[in-house]
Amino acid sequence: MNRNETLFDRAKAHIPGGVNSPVRAFGSVGGTPRFVSRAQGAYFWDADDKRYIDYIGSWGPAILGHARKEVIDAVKAAADFGLSFGAPTEGEITIAEEICKLVPSIEQVRLVSSGTEATMSAIRLARGFTGRDAIVKFEGCYHGHSDSLLVKAGSGLLTFGNPSSAGVPADFTRHTLVLEYNNVEQLETTFAEIGDSIACVILEPIAGNMNLIKPSAEFLAALRGLTEKHGALLIYDEVMTGFRVALSCAQGLHGIKPDLTTLGKVVGGGMPLAAFGGRADVMGKIAPLGPVYQAGTLSGNPLAVAAGLATLKLVQEPGFYETLSARTAKLAEGLAAAAREAGVAMCTDSVGGMFGVYFSESVPTGYAAVTASDRERFNRFFHAMLAEGVYLAPSAYEAGFVSIAHSEDDIALTIAAARRALARV
Ligand SMILES: Cc1ncc(COP(=O)(O)O)c(CN[C@@H](CN)CCC(=O)O)c1O
């Protein structure tokens, strides 16, 4: 056995499934997870000291590449002054000011420690602000694992959701309606029927948890118009897209002003920091100002704030997103060209530093199309690329991520590896 296999066996003795987050177990693609021993820039090395070009980047946070010196130094410096105080610090003010400057729809922001906390809190706030219980999400969008969001679509259009996880009482999901992403007509019908009882609609404004799926302009316009008309709040879950697709986030690309936004991943630079924020009148309902309770021992943790501030400073460097987007597009186009040359039905898409690889004839526009793609062929491609030293997301239903540390050479090496891999799948 190699060291990854030995470590996986050892991990399973005391950690359920051997991992601290399910997707890491390679359950969807099979095989043995790679245990990271160290990482630097675009690369990580596994327990057998094999190098991989990393296209997960911690599922989005590592937009600067791993172990970026300025971020590491900021965390080290902060650590010398203490790790956590349970009392306010100036750094929390500074990062709140930076987030509000970069995301104009956010007038007030509360820091938390994970995307799940951010979306759970934003939904509770929307319910508290509107006095309504019903919420709307979309099939294929993931917003973390709070009970009211672990829901699969009900049988009919206006039938509320059923739990998608054991341990979630049906009662906890009976206020959650699950609709189809990009389905404008269904959205219009739903709001016509029950719009005045909907507290909020939450969506990934560019989906990344059913692979990369882009919204149509009509869908975005309908979301904003209908929520406004019926007094429901529009929550943009930008945990993945925030500062990933553009400095102004997905909402800046769309020219849409949501009522609330959730952030995570990039905003914490790889440390446990996430946030929810938006309209001041809505945020004014959150404790200690208002009746909606929310709290956290490690919220606004000084080391996480230091990593986030260092990251937000560096992504504002001139040309950062132009370079990142161009590199990511070059990768996506190169992979698609390699598939055409190999006669393999694989296509790609990208936006900012995110990309999607689909084993289908055309780029999917929603969940049903993604699930119709050739997952088995993706799994073979995943392992062929792993053997080539390229680490893609271990699931056909996840997006990939490029960092500013991925060089033109890394992109060229990846495309060359794909040519060899596609000949074998
Ligand atoms: C749009 C969006 N919203 C919320 C979350 C939950 O964030 P966390 O609780 O994992 O920090 C996520 C988490 N994303 C997954 C990647 N598909 C995290 C990886 C994992 O679960 O291990 C997200 O993508």
Q: Which residue in 265, 367, 397, 410 is the catalytic one?
A: 265
Q: How far is CA 311 from the centre of its chain?
A: 17
Report pLDDT for 371: 93
Which residue's C-alpha comes closest to atom 17 of ligand 1?
209
Report pLDDT for 120: 98
Cis? peptide before 215, omega within 30° of 0? no
Q: Does the pLDDT of residue 158 top 80, yes or no?
A: no
Q: What is the mean pLDDT of the chain?
A: 97
Cα gap 258→126, rounded to integer Å: 12
Report pLDDT for 83: 98
CA of 1 to the centre of ligand 1 (A): 32
Q: What are the pLDDT digits (tens) for 331-382?
A: 999 999 999 999 999 999 999 999 999 999 999 999 999 999 999 999 999 9
Q: How far is CA 127 from the centre of its chain?
A: 23
The question of ipTM being above 0.95 is answered as: yes
Cα gap 155→161, rounded to integer Å: 8
Helix runs in 15-106, H state only: 69-79, 90-102
CA atoms within 13 A on the CB side of 29: 26
Report pLDDT for 153: 78
Phi, psi of 9 (to 5 degrees): -60, -45
Is 49 within 8 Å of 37 (Cβ atoms)?
A: yes
Tell me the average pLDDT across 70-84: 98
Report pLDDT for 160: 79
| Active-site residue, 265 included | yes
Report pLDDT for 1: 83
Phi, psi of 162 (to 5 degrees): -115, 150
Is 57 within 8 Å of 289 (Cβ atoms)?
A: no
Which one-letter amino acid corresponds to residue 400?
G
Give the residues surrounding ligand 1 with Cβ less than 6 Å away: 21, 23, 59, 114-116, 119, 142-144, 204, 208-209, 237, 239-240, 264, 274, 398
Report pLDDT for 263: 98
| Percent of the chain residues topping a pLDDT of 70 | 100
Detail the DSSP E strand segments found in 273-403: 274-278, 347-351, 354-358, 390-391, 400-401
Residue 108: name the closest of 302, 315, 293, 285 by CA: 285
| Percent of the chain residues topping a pLDDT of 90 | 97
Whole-model pTM: value is 0.98
CA of 401 to the centre of ligand 1 (A): 14
Tokens of 359: 């084993």
